[in-house]
Structures are given as C-alpha cells and as structure tokens.
Amino acid sequence: MYEALFSVLKRLNPEFTHHLGMLVVRCAGTRLGTLLLRSQKALSPAMRVATLGLNFESPIGLAAGFDKNAVAIRGFHTLGFGHVEVGTVTPLSQPGNEKPRLFRLPDDFALINRMGFNNDGVEAVAARLKKVRTAGGNLPVIGVNIGKNKATPQEKAGDDYVACAAALAPYADYLVVNVSSPNTPGLRGLQERAFLEPILSRVLDHAGDTPVLVKIAPDLSDEAIAEVVELVCDLGLAGIVATNTTISREGLRASPADVAAMGEGGLSGKPLSERSLEVLSVIRHTLPREYCVISVGGVFTGEDAQGLLAQGATLVQAYTGFVYRGPFFARKVLEEMGGSR
C-alpha cells in the first residue's frame, strides 16, 4: 500500500513531503493515534538492549535529522522506534541553507540533503523536552544531537556545544556531539583531535550524568577513525555514532547529470551500507564492547540491522529506510528480525 502511495508522493517536493509526514507522525503520538495504531504483536524481550546505563526496548532507533525540533517523539515511538534521536540542535535558531536542499534518488534508495542544521534553537527544544518529560507516559529513549551555529567561527565552536549540552542534558537520555555533517562549513574539520578533544572535554564537564557520544563521518580514513576511538577511550565518552552522511557520489545508479544538478550535500541510504559496515569494523577493532556504538547508514531491512549488530553495533538507527519503506518501517524491521510475536 505504501509503495503505491510513495509513487505519488515522490512526485512532490521532498521537503514538503517531509513536513506532511511529520504531521502524520505527530498525529500518531496523540492518544487517539496511539490507540488506533497500537501494534497487535508484542515485542520479544530478546530485543531489549541494556547500554548507556539505559534500557532500550529494541535496538532500532530513528537517526537525527528527522525530528529536528522534538515535536514528534511519542509518534515515532508509537510507530515502533525504541529510541529517537532529535536534532541537530544549535544554540540559536537558524533557517538552514537555501531551498531546494533535499533530493531523492529513488533508483539508489538514497537521499541527498544540505539542510544545514535548520532548527528552532536550544531554548525551544529544551522547553519541548521538559514538557514531554513532565507529561510522562510511555516514552522511547530520547537522544539529543547537538551542533554549532553556522555563523559561529571554528575557534568558538566549543561554546556552542557547551551551551547546548548544559541546556539539554537534564532532559536527554544521551547526548551526541555532531562534528560530522557536511552541510555546515568547517564543521568536519572539528573531527581533528586538536579541535575535538577540547570540545568533548568541555561537553563532558557540562553534561553531568548524561552519557555523551560523538558522531563521525563515513569519509574519514581508517586511521582518522582509529584516532577518534583512541580519544573516546582517553576521555571516557560513552561511545560513537557511526556514521553521518557521505559526500561521496561513487557507484550511484542515478545519472551523473541528475546527481550533479542536485549539487552539494550529504548522501544517505543504501549506498552507505558497505561503508557503514567497514567503519563499524574499524571501530570495534580497538573499541571495547562496553562502549556503545550506534550504527547508522543503509539500514532498510531486518537483515541489514542484524548484520550490523553481528559486526558489533550496540544499537542501529535509520532515516532513509523510514522514508522509502513507510511509517511502519520500524515494526517491519523488528518483525524481519524475529522480534515480534
């Protein structure tokens, strides 16, 4: 059914479709939506994951970038996600990059985006998270992905991350320091140890008991990934989120002319499957199992998720798979993993 609907939706502007989808998800989080969409199948206790000092009802989560402003957490939980990572959140609200900035590559089951951390700012997001926590009820594990404002110079980036950490840590189950988006000028340069170490140290000082992870790019060399792993261990971070989108355009089925016309941005979806598995392998080569690794990139099926978990991922996140497979993506993946009964 969703395949037929998607054949219509894909003719519409991708960002408009995203906002339309978010309205549907928000409705799913209402009392009526929860009642109507309640799963008839129980989730197997075998799907539970204990990590970060938390209990996840399943290893399948929603990657950052979909619910940037923490407006649909309950809805995504109703649809089957065991954890939801909101953001990326910056200290000040910002509109992001100029439109168009989101593109579909249906032949590749991929997306290209150059959104640019468009979000309502830390005060608004913190207020929403506080409201969600105060209301209580059945919630997923909530992660918050934090970044710097586009106008903030590289040498002041640490101030932005600290501001976000201090404001959001009281309401987040875990924090993710995002230094790997390709859509904020200079951001990926912060992955170098000379810049990254002081940023992470300061975030840790302001996060309190909230676990802190760092999100890295798939375009890092294996040597650079190993350096990040070393830093994570040296500082005592909780783990790594691997990976963000890629700037690579290799091996795409879409015509080079069409891809070139879309311009710059991060590529997500099926084309990242192989590299995400490679990065995970590099990380687990030296990172002890007690550290959490959240694997992201190319997750469309239960088999994809199980492959990453078998390679050493603690948890798995998806974004593009949700777009292409539809609102019940998480439930389908869990069923394919044998997690529903």
Predicted local distance difference test score (pLDDT) of residue 111: 96
- 2-336 is classed CATH 3.20.20.70: yes
Predicted local distance difference test score (pLDDT) of residue 6: 46
Predicted local distance difference test score (pLDDT) of residue 104: 96
Predicted local distance difference test score (pLDDT) of residue 64: 96
The whole-angstrom separation of Cα 341 and Cα 339 is 7
- The DSSP bridge partners found for residue 267 are 112, 246
Burial (Cβ within 10 Å: 0-12, 13-18, ≥19) of residue 39: middle
Element (H, E) at 178: strand 174-178
| Residue ranges per structural domain of the chain | 2-336
Query: Could you list the mean pLDDT of each consecutive 10-residue stretch along the chain, which spans 341 residues?
Result: 52 85 90 82 88 96 97 95 97 96 96 95 98 93 97 94 98 96 86 92 97 96 94 96 94 95 95 96 95 97 96 97 94 89 55
Task: Return the number of other C-beta atoms located less than 10 Å from residue 246's C-beta.
Answer: 20
**Residue 181 is a catalytic residue:** yes
**Which one is catalytic: 44, 58, 93, 181?**
181
Residue 97 tokens read as 């990059």
